[in-house]
Structure 1
């Protein structure tokens, strides 16, 4: 896949809504993402179901820090109210904040190039980014077997 194959929607500056979430905090080698993500997602769904609080939509990842070899992030779902702590599942929140936002269309293998295109836009538009970032997997393998249908919302909080 080349950079020219990457499709992102026109980026915008938006304000996100404050939302309750249920999360599992993970710090893993980047190479383990594909092995850890699915089981942790299943663990979250099982716990939310046990608490009578089905997820409100699809999974997200809130990357707290980015480094070349490690992902330090919270994997989560938006919830209607705070969840009870149970094992690795903890209550969290998606804050109300100003953020740069775009939507990437395509398979997860294209996410690094999508982020590169998004960051290029932010730099060209003098958008000052915070350290963290959010990926919301709105349409993915959970809802379509065709990667061409997949949509990932990319959020980059802005410095105040």
Structure 2
């Protein structure tokens, strides 16, 4: 089943996150460790996260994945060690809701890329996966992941006398 894809306007959203480089095979364990560490830090501050935990992918190099692991929060908070305050990029994002095992998300990503091509958008920032539930709570086929990507209007090829070759 092809997921529903939409364009949204992302507003101001503070986050607390850890950015790191890892190998794909190490990612599941790393995500769990970093989520727990950030959650513990937020609890120590007496702060609740304000949304689903996320992983942002800044590249797709499976041997050296550049990822940011974090939570949305209500306000900018002080960082500590590898934990840094920040914000989600404001502006247009393409979004879809994927239901199923993490290994099957490729279909949703391909559908998003096709939708962007047809609708005149291109990738302008990281890909985000927001995890709405966890493998500890539900069976793999019931996992819910919001997949989002920062976008910009696609540049049309210029034609005519001002074309830069």
TM-score, length of structure 2 as denominator length: 0.84
CA distance in 1, matches of 2:31, 2:120: 33
Larger of the two Rg values belongs to structure? 2
CA distance in 2, matches of 1:58, 1:13: 19
Contact 2:54 2:129 in 1 (8 A): yes
Task: Name the residue aligned to 1:36.
Answer: 30
Please give the secondary structure, in 1, of the residue aligned with 2:28.
helix
Q: Where does structure 1 lack aligned partners over 5 or more consecutive residues?
A: 1-6
CA distance in 2, matches of 1:61, 1:137: 8
CA apart distance, 1:137: 0.8
Deviating above 3 A after TM superposition, structure 1's stretches of 4 or more consecutive aligned residues are none
Task: Name the residue aligned to 1:151.
Answer: 144
Q: Where does structure 2 lack aligned partners over 5 or more consecutive residues?
A: 154-165
Task: Name the residue aligned to 2:111.
Answer: 117
How many aligned residue pairs are there? Answer: 153
CA apart distance, 1:52: 0.8
TM-score, length of structure 1 as denominator length: 0.86
- Deviation digits for residues 64-103 of structure 1, max 9, x if unmatched? 2222432101101000111211121110111221011111
Please give the secondary structure, in 2, of the residue aligned with 1:159.
strand
Kindly report the root-mean-square deviation, in angstroms, between the aligned alpha carbons of the 2 structures.
1.7
Among 79, 82, 89, which residue is 1:88 paired with?
82
